[in-house]
């Protein structure tokens, strides 16, 4: 340390000149208070003035800030707002699915996966999008050829959310995959494959919700409300699926400000 700096920062443990024995060895445990203080001084002098932490950016999540919006959902198109009775029935059905999943989770987790099923790692965003939605939808390629229609190629059409698959996913993976699919849905159209996975992931989501999961499902409900308003052909099956997700987010996960008003 420079003398000028030392004057501005007086020592907390000043050490007066003292007679240390010639055999003083700072590498061995001190025998007197003077030797201890002298050893502290020596160690402090060897410390670098600046220390830079070595951080591996790969270990940091891409999105660490959780932003929770308080904006609600857009109203359903005229004539497509679900009734309160319908919403209550969907919540009851969903609750039964969650209870069954929790009860039999260990059983399904012990089941062997088919040889063609390789679950991506939790942090593999592109891998999970292809796994859930298939290369055909994820890459927006043409429909399957006649030869491919002879059998189901799950690599191309995506793996369904089988109980033997979702039961193997811990909460961190459930949240990550939910984030990946919601991100994809933010710029793409709604598909049956996406709907099935969203329903399954919501069924696996534990309560009480963590802040990140809370933000994600609210984002999902708002996106569903946007898509159903923009639905040109007013496909009843698709609007019903979007209504279902909004219903579960708002009424099962207690985001009541996002709920559809009963028709």
Per-residue pLDDT reduced to its tens digit, 144-161 = 444 444 457 788 888 999
In this structure, the number of other CB atoms found within 10 A of the CB of residue 135 comes to 17
Tally of helices (H runs) and strands (E runs) in the chain: 10, 0
> What residue numbers bound the domain in which 126 lies?
84-111+122-139+154-258
Q: What is the pTM of this model?
A: 0.69
pLDDT digits (tens, 9 = 90+) for 107-138: 999 988 888 899 999 999 999 999 999 987 75
Cα–Cα distance, 73 to 225 (Å, whole number): 6
59 in any annotated domain: no
The answer to whether residue 248 is domain-embedded is yes
Do the beta carbons of residue 255 and residue 245 sit within 8 Å? no
Q: List the alpha helices (DSSP H) in 74-210.
A: 84-109, 125-138, 154-157, 163-166, 171-185, 192-204
Asked, for residue 228, whether it belongs to a domain, the answer is yes
* Residue 188 falls inside a structural domain: yes
* CATH number of the domain that residue 228 is part of: 1.20.58.1070
pLDDT digits (tens, 9 = 90+) for 35-65: 777 777 777 777 776 666 666 665 555 555 5
Read off the pLDDT of residues 228-239 as tens digits, 9 standing for 90 and up.
Answer: 998 767 788 999
Does residue 18 sit within a domain? no
Q: How many structural domains is the chain composed of?
A: 1
Instruction: Please report whether residue 146 resides in a domain.
Output: no
């Amino acid at each position: 340390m420079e003398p000028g700096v030392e004057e501005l920062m007086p020592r907390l443990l000043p050490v007066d000149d003292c007679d240390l024995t010639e055999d003083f060895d700072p590498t061995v445990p001190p025998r007197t208070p003077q030797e201890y203080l002298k050893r502290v001084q020596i160690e402090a002098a060897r410390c670098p003035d600046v220390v830079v932490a070595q951080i591996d950016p790969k270990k940091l999540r891409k999105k660490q800030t959780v932003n929770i919006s308080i904006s609600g959902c857009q109203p359903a198109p005229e004539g497509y707002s679900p009734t309160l009775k319908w919403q209550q029935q969907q919540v009851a059905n969903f609750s039964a699915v969650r209870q069954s999943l929790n009860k039999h989770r260990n059983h399904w987790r012990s089941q062997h996966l088919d040889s063609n099923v390789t679950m991506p790692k939790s942090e593999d965003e592109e891998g999970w999008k292809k796994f859930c939605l298939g290369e055909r939808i994820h890459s927006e390629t043409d429909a399957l050829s006649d030869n491919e229609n002879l059998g189901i190629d799950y690599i191309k059409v995506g793996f369904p959310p089988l109980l033997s698959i979702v039961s193997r996913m811990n909460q961190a993976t459930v949240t990550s995959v939910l984030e990946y699919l919601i991100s994809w849905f933010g710029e793409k159209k709604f598909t049956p494959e996406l709907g099935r996975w969203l329903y399954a992931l919501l069924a696996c989501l534990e309560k009480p919700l963590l802040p990140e999961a809370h933000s994600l499902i609210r984002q999902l409900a708002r996106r569903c409300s946007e898509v159903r308003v923009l639905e040109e052909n007013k496909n009843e099956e698709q609007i019903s699926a979007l209504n279902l997700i909004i219903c579960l987010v708002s009424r099962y996960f207690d985001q009541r400000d996002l709920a559809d008003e009963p028709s």
